[in-house]
């Protein structure tokens, strides 16, 4: 997407870095980024409600700033919600695969985290996450019941694996709409435009029947608080 401003060309980079606009030679590049903290919140709130062990697992692909933001949001939301439920929450040490395609590494990481007591997972590692779900499904099959869960992203893939209880969903088209509005307002170019719950970029997907009705109600209440900017306040 591009537009002309005072003879210069302004453009938008989807999933660019926070410092992309500053690094642009003419300061005419906008970066479109999903809000990493809110992505973490969406998963973390449900993790805090669903964990029985109090131990959570997160698997990273590459050690990116956006991934670190998701981890921070995941941990703080889980601890906040868990405390309200009388739980002590611990996020186990986060392993990085240094890859987005190494599914066997995801399986290895998840198996180790399960052995440490993790019972709810979230990740930011694409195919690595798929490998993790294989390990989670195998652990559940071995135990005879589904007691270890996964929260997916960035698409709603409920039903793909038995362990998936919800997905954090990102709609990039909403960020494109936000950038078009900035064009119309004459403010487009050289800024970071965040995709949020408030502008419709981020949302929580469908919930699995494994999530009890009372937990679903509490979780959806958390999502509404996030939209109203009252969560953790």
pLDDT (tens digit per residue) in 195-222: 999 999 999 999 999 999 999 999 999 9
pLDDT at residue 10, as a whole number: 64
Q: Which residues have a Cβ under 8 Å from the Cβ of 91 and sit 6 or more positions away?
A: 56, 57, 58, 71, 74, 75, 78
| Architecture of the domain defined by 36-169+203-227 | 3-Layer(aba) Sandwich (3.40)
Average pLDDT, the chain: 91
DSSP classification of residue 46: H
Q: What is the pLDDT of residues 87-96, one digit of tens each?
A: 999 999 999 9
For the chain, domain boundaries: 2-34+172-195, 36-169+203-227
Q: Which residue has the tokens 């170019």?
A: 189
Spatial separation of the C-alpha atoms in residues 212 and 173, rounded to whole Å: 32
**What percentage of residues in the chain have a pLDDT greater than 90?**
77
pLDDT, greater one: 10 or 38: 38
Average pLDDT for 117-125: 98
223 touches 41 (CB < 8 A): no
Please report, in angstroms and rounded to a whole number, the separation of the first and last CA atoms in the chain: 37
Query: Which range among 28-42, 44-58, 83-97, 197-211 shows the weakest confidence by mean pLDDT?
Result: 28-42
């Amino acid at each position: 997407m591009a537009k002309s401003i005072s003879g210069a060309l302004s453009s938008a980079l989807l999933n660019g870095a926070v410092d992309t606009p500053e690094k642009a030679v003419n300061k005419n590049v906008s970066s479109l980024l999903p809000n990493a903290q809110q992505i973490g919140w969406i998963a973390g709130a449900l993790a805090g409600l669903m964990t029985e062990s109090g131990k959570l697992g997160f698997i990273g692909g590459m050690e990116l700033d956006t991934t670190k933001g998701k981890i921070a949001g995941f941990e703080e939301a889980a601890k906040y919600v868990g405390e309200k439920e009388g739980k002590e929450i611990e996020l186990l040490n986060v392993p990085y695969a240094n890859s987005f395609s190494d599914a066997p590494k995801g399986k290895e990481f998840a198996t180790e985290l399960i052995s440490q007591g993790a019972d709810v997972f979230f990740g930011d590692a694409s195919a690595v996450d798929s490998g993790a779900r294989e390990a989670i499904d195998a652990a559940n099959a071995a135990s005879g019941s589904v007691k270890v869960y996964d929260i997916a992203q960035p698409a709603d893939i409920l039903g793909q694996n038995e362990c998936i209880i919800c997905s954090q969903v990102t709609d990039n088209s909403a960020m494109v709409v936000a950038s078009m509005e900035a064009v119309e307002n004459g403010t487009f170019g050289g800024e970071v435009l965040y995709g949020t719950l408030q502008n419709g970029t981020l949302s929580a997907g469908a919930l699995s029947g494994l999530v009890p009705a009372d937990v679903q109600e509490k979780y959806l209440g958390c999502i509404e608080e996030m939209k109203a900017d009252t969560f953790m306040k």
